[in-house]
Amino acid sequence: MITLHGTPRSRALRVSWMLEELGIEWQFRFLNFAKGENRSAEFLALNPSGKMPVIEEDGFVMTESAAIVQYLAEKYGHDKFLPARGTQQSAIYHQWVSFIICELEQALWSMGKHRFALPEEQRLAEMLPVAKWEFDKAAALAENQVPESGYLLGEQFTTADILLTHTLMWATAFDQTIPPKLTAYRDRLLTRAALQSALAKTEPVAKAAQEQA
């Protein structure tokens, strides 16, 4: 049994979505970030950084959402969610993953850090327009490369699509302007049953925990 620690719409959503795509058994443990549960001794023993998501699987602990979804796809996906190794499709896949994590997402994380994640004395309001400029630049590059239909690799849905869609969901929550092709891409992916199932499984758990707090 895999246990996922996190909050429903954080980077943990990438993992819960992947788990639902795979159709394997898992359970969700909600972390109340507002109450500092990610800084508890129990959680820091799993991930000393205090960041989520974290998965536990038979004593094995893993962090970093992009690495987690890659691992899950490799172990349980039966080659369905990843292109064949050593192919040009695989190279394009890794290119997208690197771009999403290093370019598109990092600007949004800069916003998040300087809005709420960093200690107040470390937050700089001046960073917000810089981060927006960086996001707009990266989004324009992605707009020129994202396909008009289907997925990033054509007809094959991969973990890169999970990473990009979640990042665009994050951008939407942060009120960022998303170019039209990226918007259409995001909206296509939002209809996937596994994504909706992941939210349906995790959001009630979070709501119940918050109501009991």
Q: What does the pLDDT read at residue 33?
A: 80
Using CB atoms within 10 Å of the CB of residue 75, give its burial: 0 to 12 exposed, 13 to 18 middle, 19+ buried: exposed
Q: For residue 108, what pLDDT band results from cuts at 50, 70 and 90?
A: very high
DSSP 171-189: HHHTT----HHHHHHHHHH
Fold of 2-80+194-212: Glutaredoxin (3.40.30)
Interval 185-203 mean pLDDT: 97
Q: Tens digit of pLDDT for each residue in 44-95?
A: 888 998 889 999 999 999 999 999 999 999 999 998 999 999 999 999 999 9
Domain boundaries, the chain: 2-80+194-212, 88-192
Q: What does the pLDDT read at residue 161?
A: 98
Which strands, in side-by-side order, build the sheet including 54-57?
26-30, 2-6, 54-57, 60-63
Q: Tens digit of pLDDT for each residue in 113-167?
A: 999 888 999 999 999 999 999 999 999 999 999 999 999 999 999 999 999 999 9
CATH 2.60.120.560 fits 88-192, yes or no: no
Q: Would the pTM of this model clear 0.85, i.e. be above it?
A: yes
Please list, in sequence order, all residues whose beta carbon lies within 8 angstroms of the beta carbon of residue 86, skipping any fewer than 6 positions away: none
**Residue 180 near residue 172 (C-beta atoms within 8 A):** no
Residue 213 confidence (pLDDT) above 80: no
Give the burial string for 98-127 (b: 16+ CB within 10 Å, else e).
ebbbebbbebbebbbebeeeeeeeeeeeeb
Q: For residue 4, what pLDDT band results from cuts at 50, 70 and 90?
A: very high
**Residue 202 near residue 30 (C-beta atoms within 8 A):** yes
